[in-house]
Amino acid sequence: MARSLLRTPPARGPFAPDFWRSPLRGIRFTAVLGVVLLVGITILFVTGLLSYAAYNPDLARVNDMTPGKGLLGFYLFSWPTDPPWLYRLTQGVHVTLGLALVPVLLAKLWSVVPRLFTLPPARSLTHALERISLLLLVGGALFEFVTGILNVQLDYVFPGSFYPLHFYGAWVFFGAFLAHVVLKAPVAFRNLRAMREGSGEPGDEPDELAAPRPDRPTVSRRGAFGLVGGASLLLFATSAGRSFDGPLRETAVLTPHGGPEPGGGPGGFQINKTAAYVGVRAGETSEEAWRLTVAGRSGTARLSRADLLGLPLHSADLPIACVEGWSTSDQWWRGVRLRDLAALVGHDEPVDVLVESLQRRGPFRRAALRANQVEDPRSLLALFVNGEELTLDHGYPARIIVPAAPGVLNTKWVERLTFGEV
Ligand SMILES: Nc1nc2c(c(=O)[nH]1)N[C@H]1C(S)=C(S)[C@@H](COP(=O)(O)O)O[C@H]1N2
Ligand SMILES: [Mo]
C-alpha cells in the first residue's frame, strides 16, 4: 500500500475505483449486452456491405464516388434482380435494426465506462494496444450509429459524402469489433453459462467491472434488462412501419417518411424528393418540350412521350426501397422495357446503361445500371403507375424502375439513356 502510494498520487474523481457505485455493473450485465451486440452488429455489417454492393459501386464513377476504395471493394458482385424485394428486406433490416440497437449500445457503453478511467493509462505495450483498439471500437460504434441515424433522420445531411464516411467508418469499426470479440467472447460466454446454470458465486476471476463499494440497488438486473429491451422494442415498433404502405406506415412516428400517405390516388405513395424541391418544372416535362435521347452502338434516337407510347408496353409489380430504410409496397408500373430500348439502338446482347435526368441540381441525377438489370423483363422506363400517368413528383414523363435495386437507381425525370459505354 505504502509503496504504491509513493509511486502514484491517489486517484480522484472518476479515476478513483469507488467513484462508480451502480450495483448493476458487472461482467455478467456486460456479457448479456455484449452477446446481443455481437449478433446485431454482425447483421448490421453484413446488410451494410450488401447495401453497398446493391449500388453497383464498381460501375463507372457514377453510382459511387468513394475515392480509392481499392481493396475494400474486393467482395463486390453483380447485384441480382431477384427476389424483387431483396433490397427492401436487407436495407429495412439494416436501418430498423440499427435504430433498435441504440439502447443496447448505450447500455453496453454505460456498463463499461469506469474502464475508460483506469490508471495508469497503459500498463504495458499489449495493454496500450488493447486500449487503442477500444478507442477505435467505441469511437467507431458512435460514429457509425450517428452518421447512420443522421442520414435516416435528416434526409442526406452529408450530400455526396455520407457513403465514404459510413463505408470507411464501418471497416475501421468492424476491424476493432472483431479484435474485441476475439478477446472478450470467451469471458462473455463463460459468464452467460454461469448465469444460465444459476450459480450466483463469483467466477474464479475477479469481476473487474463490478463496483468495489456499490450503492443499494434501486433496480434489479432483470429490471434493467427490461428497460433496455423495452426501449429497443419501442424504437422498433415506431420505425418498422416505414417498410409498408397504408395504416402501418403511420405507426412509424419517430422517423421521416413514416407519416401520413403523401396524398391519395394512384400516385399516393411515398415521395423522396418532390419536383419542386429539386427544381424540376412542369414546363420542362410537357409534351412539346420533353424528348428522350437514347444512344447506343447504332446511333441516337430522340423520342417523344407519344413515340414511347407507340412501343410495346409491359407491366411489373415492384416496390421502391430507399437507402434510408423506408420502402413502399409493390406498385403497378407500366412502361417500355429497358432491353427493348437497348435493342432500338443496336444492342441485342445484355449491356450496361447510363441514365441521366433532366434535373439540373442536387444528387441522384445520374445512375448506372448493370447488364443483368437492363436484361430483366421487369426493368422498365415507366410511364404509368397504378393505372395512371406518372405524377410529376414520381418522375413524369418517364422514370426508371428496376427489381431489387435501391431507390436511388430508380432515376426520375429521365432525359437520356446511353447504352454500352458505362
Ligand atoms: N432525378 C432524380 N431521381 C431520383 C431521385 C432524385 O433525387 N432525383 N431520388 C432517388 C431516390 S434516393 C429514391 S429513394 C427514389 C424515390 O422515388 P419516389 O420519390 O418516387 O418515391 O427516387 C430516386 N430517383
Ligand atoms: Mo433513396
Residue 117's Cβ-count burial label (10 Å; 0-12, 13-18, 19+) is: middle
The residue whose C-alpha atom lies closest to atom 5 belonging to ligand 1 is 364
Residue 79: per-residue pLDDT: 96
C-alpha cell at 105: 449500445
Q: Name the region of 68 (left: φ>0; alpha: ψ -120 to 50; beta: rest).
A: left
Neighbouring residues of 112: CB distance < 8 A, sequence distance ≥ 6:
30, 209
Phi, psi (degrees; rounded to nearest 5) at 47? -70, -30
Ligand nearest to the CA of 407: 1
223 pLDDT tier (thresholds 50, 70, 90): very high
Ligand 2 centroid – CA 273 distance (Å): 9
Q: Are 231 and 103 in contact (CB under 8 A)?
A: yes
Dist. CA 171–CA 140, nearest whole Å: 9
What distance in angstroms lies between residue 408's CA and the mean position of ligand 2's atoms?
A: 5
Ligand 1 binding pocket, CB closer than 6 Å? 270-273, 278, 320, 322, 357, 359, 364-365, 394, 407-408, 410-413
Cβ–Cβ contacts within 10 Å for residue 247, how many? 9
The cell numbers describing 236, all together, are: 422498433
CB 408 within 8 A of CB 57: no
Contact between 369 and 326 under an 8 Å Cβ cutoff? The reply is: no
Mean pLDDT of 346-361: 96
Ligand 1 pocket test, candidate residues 360, 396, 410, most atoms within 8 A of CB: 410
The label of the residue with cell 435493342 reads 343
What lies within 8 Å, CB to CB, of 3 at 6+ separation is none
Count CB atoms within 10 A of the CB of residue 108: 21
Domain spanning 275-419: CATH 3.90.420.10: yes
Which three three-digit cell numbers place residue 37? 451486440
- To which residue does cell 454461469 refer? 194
Query: Is the pLDDT assigned to residue 5 strictly greater than 70?
Result: no
Residue closest by Cα to atom 10 of ligand 1 = 408
Give Cα separations from 130 to 32, 75, 91, 168, 185 (angstroms): 21, 29, 33, 21, 15
Beta bridge partners of 419: 353
The CA–CA distances, whole Å, from 366 to 263, 283, 293, 370, 422 equal 27, 21, 14, 14, 12
What's the per-residue H, E or C state across 54-87?
HCCCCCCCCCCCCCCCHHHHCCCCCCCCCCCCHH
User: Which residue lies with its CA nearest to atom 4 of ligand 1?
Assistant: 411
Is pLDDT at 2 greater than 50 in this prediction? no
The three cell numbers locating residue 367: 445512375
pLDDT confidence of 8, banded at 50, 70, 90? low
In terms of Cα–Cα distance, which of 45, 89, 79 is closest to 59? 79
Q: When comparing pLDDT for 246 and 83, which is higher?
A: 83
3-state SS record for 280-311: CCHHHHCCCCCCEEEEECCEEEEECHHHHHCC
Return the residue whose CA atom lies nearest to atom 24 of ligand 1.
411
Judge whether residue 368 has pLDDT over 60. yes
CA angle 14–15–16, rounded 5-degree value: 90
- 118 contacts: CB under 8 Å, gap ≥ 6: 15
The reported pTM is 0.91
Instruction: Cell numbers for 108, please give them.
Output: 453496453
Position 208 confidence tier, pLDDT thresholds 50, 70, 90: confident
User: Which sequence spans correspond to the domains of the chain?
Assistant: 11-243, 275-419
pLDDT at residue 232, as a whole number: 98
As a 3-state breakdown, the chain gives helix, strand, coil percent values, each rounded to 5, of 45, 10, 40
For ligand 1, atom 7, which residue shows the shortest CA distance? 364
Of all protein residues, the one whose alpha carbon is nearest to atom 19 of ligand 1 is 271
Higher pLDDT, 2 or 157: 157
* Residue with the larger pLDDT of the pair 151 and 420: 420
Q: 327 is written with which cell numbers?
A: 420502402
User: Ligand 2 centre and the CA of 377: distance in Å?
Assistant: 23
Helix (H) or strand (E) holding 335: strand 331-337
Q: Rounded to whole angstroms, how far apart are CA atoms 230 and 76?
A: 37
CA of 191 to the centre of ligand 1 (A): 49
pLDDT digits (tens, 9 = 90+) for 136-181: 999 999 999 999 998 887 655 555 577 888 988 999 999 999 988 8
Q: What is the atom index within ligand 1 of the atom nearest the CA of 413?
A: 1
Beta-carbon contacts of 171 under 8 Å, excluding residues fewer than 6 positions away, are 72
Assigned C-alpha cell, 416: 437520356
Burial class (CB in 10 A: 0-12, 13-18, 19+), 201: exposed
